[in-house]
C-alpha cells in the first residue's frame, strides 16, 4: 500500500475496502478525515485536508459526485437466477389469464417541465410537490384490465363535490 517514499499508491483505501461496492456513502468530509488518519499514521504533522487538497485528490483519481439511485441496491441479486426459475415453475401451472400484475406510481400533477427554449439562461422556480398515487393492474394476457386505483390527498376533494365516487372511472381513496 505504501511505496518507497511513504506515499499511498493508486490502490487507495476506498478501493481496498470496496466501500462503494458495499453501498457506503463517501463524501468529501469522510475522504479528508481518512486522509488525515493516514497522514497521522505516516508521521506527517502539517497535513490539512483542505478544499483545495480535496479538489486535487478528486481530479487526480477521477472521482466525481454521483446521485445514488434510491433503492437500486436494496434487492439482493445473488439468488436472482434461482428465484426467476422458481417463479417460472410456479407460474407455469396457471393460465396467463389468471396471472395479474399491479404497479403503482406517483403523478406530480402540478409539476411543470424543468427545461424551456430560450435565447439565454433562465432562472428556475421551485417545483410543486403535489402528487397523487395511481395503481394499475391487468392480467398477463392483457385481456382483463382492472379499474385503476387513485389515491389523492383529500378524502372528499372539492373538485368531486356532489359527484358519487362510485361513478368515477377509478377507485378513489
Residue 82 phi, psi dihedral angles, 5° rounding:
-65, -45
pLDDT in tens, 42-89: 998 888 889 999 889 888 877 777 766 556 556 667 788 888 999 999
pLDDT in tens, 82-126: 889 999 999 999 999 999 999 999 988 888 877 766 667 777 778
Domain spans in the chain, listed from the N-terminal domain onward: 1-75, 96-115+126-172
pTM: 0.50
Q: For residue 107, give the C-alpha cell.
A: 403523478
**Helix, coil or strand: residue 145:** strand
**Helix, coil or strand: residue 39:** helix
Q: What is the C-alpha separation between 108 and 126, in angstroms, rounded?
A: 13
Amino acid at each position: 500500500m505504501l511505496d518507497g517514499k511513504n506515499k499511498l499508491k493508486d490502490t487507495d483505501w476506498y478501493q481496498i475496502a470496496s466501500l462503494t461496492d458495499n453501498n457506503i456513502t463517501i463524501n468529501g468530509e469522510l475522504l479528508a478525515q481518512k486522509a488525515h488518519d493516514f497522514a497521522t499514521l505516516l508521521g506527517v504533522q502539517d497535513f490539512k485536508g483542505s478544499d483545495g487538497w480535496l479538489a486535487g485528490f478528486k481530479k487526480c483519481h477521477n472521482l466525481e459526485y454521483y446521485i445514488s439511485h434510491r433503492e437500486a441496491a436494496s434487492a439482493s441479486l445473488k439468488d436472482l437466477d434461482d428465484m426467476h426459475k422458481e417463479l417460472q415453475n410456479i407460474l407455469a401451472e396457471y393460465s396467463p389469464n389468471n396471472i395479474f400484475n399491479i404497479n403503482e406510481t406517483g403523478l406530480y400533477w402540478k409539476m411543470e417541465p424543468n427545461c424551456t427554449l430560450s435565447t439565454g439562461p433562465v432562472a428556475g422556480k421551485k417545483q410543486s410537490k403535489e402528487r397523487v398515487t395511481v395503481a394499475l393492474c391487468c392480467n398477463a394476457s392483457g385481456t382483463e384490465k382492472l379499474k385503476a386505483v387513485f389515491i389523492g390527498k383529500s378524502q372528499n376533494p372539492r373538485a368531486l363535490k356532489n359527484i358519487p365516487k362510485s361513478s368515477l372511472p377509478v377507485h378513489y381513496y
